[in-house]
Amino acid sequence: MKTILVTGGAGFIGSHLCEKLLEQGNHVVCLDNLFTGSMVNIRHLLKNKNFEFIKHDIIEPFFYKGRNKGEGRIYQIYNLACPASPVHYQFNAIRTIKANTIGVINMLGLARMHKARFLQASTSEVYGDPLVHPQPESYRGNVNTIGPRACYDEGKRVAETLCFDYNRQNNVDICVVRIFNTYGSKMAINDGRVVSNFIVQALHDKPITIYGDGTQTRSFCYVSDMVDGLITAMNKKGFKGPVNLGNPDEFTVLELAKKIIKLTNSGSKVIFKALPEDDPLQRKPVIKKAISELNWQPTISLDIGLKETIIYFKNKVA
């Protein structure tokens, strides 16, 4: 049995990942400071003897010895710890930067100590408001270094740099994946991102809040596809990335709103609000590299994924 550390393990993607890694027979150590993560996401895992939850903020150093004999060597680290919704990462911008610098250094140091393979959850936000469309990994991005999104975008960019420097300088075995918009069960009601906002609004027959004119685009990946992608990248020996993980089917925000109104049979109307500063106008991953090097591509269409997500939110708001 192998010990695998998941930081941000009580979060939306992290908790799905912990579940899957446990299913695969691993000993899973979940770190989370519970800022956006929630015990509700992992409550059902706590009774599993192979699951360990430790409330910890990666901004502080972390050392691990294992509860039982044989558990003490960390074999892999998935570093997912960081608020990912613009509302949450902008709430305390300095803390977001700390998570992506000091926090990443702490976790890379831990990886070095344990000779663990380290996967960094990077983001499509490294491309900023992209001038190249769709975005291949070779595109170097268009980020406003001083804008409200920079704490996250620049934080994640330097986190990528740290991974490659720890690899070059300290031989840490690293892998960088760039996660594009992802949705599904275990998202918080107050997550603030577009899919959860629209579904919750639609279920309450409240106005659907479109920021801007709704012509901006995003490409939405269902969480089970994303988790498969993360595990595949981690287990591909020697693969460093960076690699885009996301669903290349692109939709405008207005199209998404209409889809959600239809699928929920909602009486909601759309209303238009101001577009937040630096909100990217378009986003769609080129996933050629994931297909050719990892043999991974998403399998769940937006309609199917939304139906599942709507069922989850229906139970949550009931």
State the residues that interact with ligand UDP by CB under 6 A. Answer: 85-86, 181, 193-194, 197, 209-211, 216, 218, 253, 276, 279
Closest approach of ligand UDP to the CB of residue 140, in Å:
19
- Whichever of 12 and 64 has its CB closer to ligand UDP, that residue is 12
Closest approach of ligand UDP to the CB of residue 123, in Å:
8
Catalytic residue among 78, 89, 152, 183: 152
To the query of whether residue 152 is one of the catalytic residues in this protein, the response is yes
Closest approach of ligand UDP to the CB of residue 209, in Å:
4
Closest C-alpha among 127, 126, 116, 186 to residue 157: 126
- Whichever of 16 and 27 has its CB closer to ligand UDP, that residue is 16
Distance separating alpha carbons of residues 18 and 13, to the nearest angstrom: 9
Percentages helix, strand, coil for the chain, rounded to the nearest 5?
A: 40, 20, 40
Q: Quick one: CA torsion of 276, 302, 271, 149, rounded to 10 degrees?
A: -10
Distance separating alpha carbons of residues 283 and 181, to the nearest angstrom: 9
Which residues are paired to 221 by β-bridges?
A: 182
Supply the DSSP symbol for 293: I
Closest approach of ligand UDP to the CB of residue 272, in Å:
9
Place of tokens 């620049």: 154
- Whichever of 166 and 183 has its CB closer to ligand UDP, that residue is 183
The per-type count for the chain, helices as H runs and strands as E runs, is 11, 13
Pairing of β 217-219 and β 74-79: unpaired
Q: Is residue 245 a contact partner of residue 183, using CB atoms and an 8 Å limit?
A: no
Pairing of β 27-32 and β 51-55: parallel
- Whichever of 75 and 211 has its CB closer to ligand UDP, that residue is 211
Q: Is residue 128 a contact partner of residue 143, using CB atoms and an 8 Å limit?
A: yes
- Whichever of 66 and 86 has its CB closer to ligand UDP, that residue is 86
Phi then psi for residue 307, to 5 deg, are -60, -45
Closest approach of ligand UDP to the CB of residue 201, in Å:
8
Would you name the residues annotated as active-site residues? 152
